Amino acid sequence: MKTRYVIYTVLALVLAYLLYNKFFSKGAKEKQVATAGKGKRKNGPVPVNLMIVKDTTVTDQIDITGTIDANEKVNLVSQTAGSVTGIYFNEGQHVSKGQLLVKVYNQDLEASLKQVEAQMALARDINRRNEILVQKEAISKEEYETSQSSYNAYKAQAAAVRAQIGRTEIRAPFSGVIGLRSISPGGYLSPTAPIATLVNIDPAKVTFSVPERYLGLIKAGSKINFNIESSQQNFSATVYAIEPALDATSRTITVRAKAPNANNLLRAGSFAKINLTLDQIPKTIMIPTEAVIPDLKSSKVYVYHNGVALSKNVKTDLRTDTRIQIVDGLKQGDSVVVSGLIQIRPKAPLKILKVIK
């Protein structure tokens, strides 16, 4: 028990010694005085960088996103049912408008057409003879009209059979690249069964939405620049159509532009990063964003005047990555403080380190 008391006593003395050295010794007091001296605000001038305000030309641009669409795209299907007797394209092949792609069994229709054509030829010959005879008054006009009606009926019947045969031949509705086929020779093809997808993507369509506030600046003929993930190349397109109504939810307008795609670098469904030039302002004031101090009701900047800082309220508008437009509050030739703003108070003395022109 006595040993425990001795230990407690020694620990208490050590703790008291440490507290004395930290707070009450001569060295501790000198350290406190030095720290207090450092905490006092210096009354010397604040070192700053200045920028001389001047008029500059700025281009109003916005960055938005869009989608690459095909100029024309269709899912090929048959208009009639039957067995596939021929496939006349390769997957991924470029085909021309009107080119035969797929043929469905139509031999029965071909036979019907030959029969009708034979009957039509006979009716035509009879009608020609009757036309001569009616002129000579060898037959009545009614007999001639009957033969003429029979001939026209066979002509119409032949045209109907040809139309049926035409539906058994699937042809390219426009020039483009055909995709992967979903049929095989000999397979049964129904009107709902997909054959392949035909795409024309030269030119490519770029579809995007623009906020309502820029509606007056977008028109047919406006130019846009864009990039895609799969290429480092910069692409350009021309606006050709604008949706007549705003989207009620997003308050945006849908715009569509066309981009040349001779090298087939643009693919339908790709994501486009669009840079849209809205307007060019020939004369305006642009200063670094960090020079503007936001306030509750307005924004302000500090200008250098007779060696001290003067506060000026400004009105801002357009912003870029590094600069902001001043539309009111500054004039050409003003010296705007662009650094050391945290230390500055109104009428604080300033020391110029660098002037940015």
Whether the CA torsion 309, 310, 313, 316 is positive or negative: it is: negative
Residue whose tokens read 């797929």: 102
Residue 275 has a CB neighbour count (10 Å cut-off) of 14
pLDDT at 40: 41
Q: Same structural domain for residues 321 and 265?
A: no
Q: Same structural domain for residues 84 and 188?
A: yes
Residue 68 has a CB neighbour count (10 Å cut-off) of 22
The candidate with the shortest Cα–Cα distance to 327, out of 294, 291, 281, is 281
Domain boundary among 225, 253, 278: 278
pLDDT along the chain (357 residues), means of 10: 62 66 57 45 78 81 86 90 92 92 90 90 89 83 87 90 89 92 90 91 91 82 87 89 88 91 86 79 85 85 91 85 86 90 89 86
The candidate with the shortest Cα–Cα distance to 116, out of 91, 167, 151, 83, is 151
pLDDT at 173: 93
Domain boundary among 230, 255, 278: 278
Q: Same structural domain for residues 81 and 139?
A: yes
- 8 A C-beta contact, residue 185 and residue 85: yes
The candidate with the shortest Cα–Cα distance to 56, out of 287, 319, 325, 283, is 283
What domain range includes position 210? 63-71+199-278
CATH assignment of the domain containing 116 = 2.40.50.100
Q: Same structural domain for residues 119 and 144?
A: yes
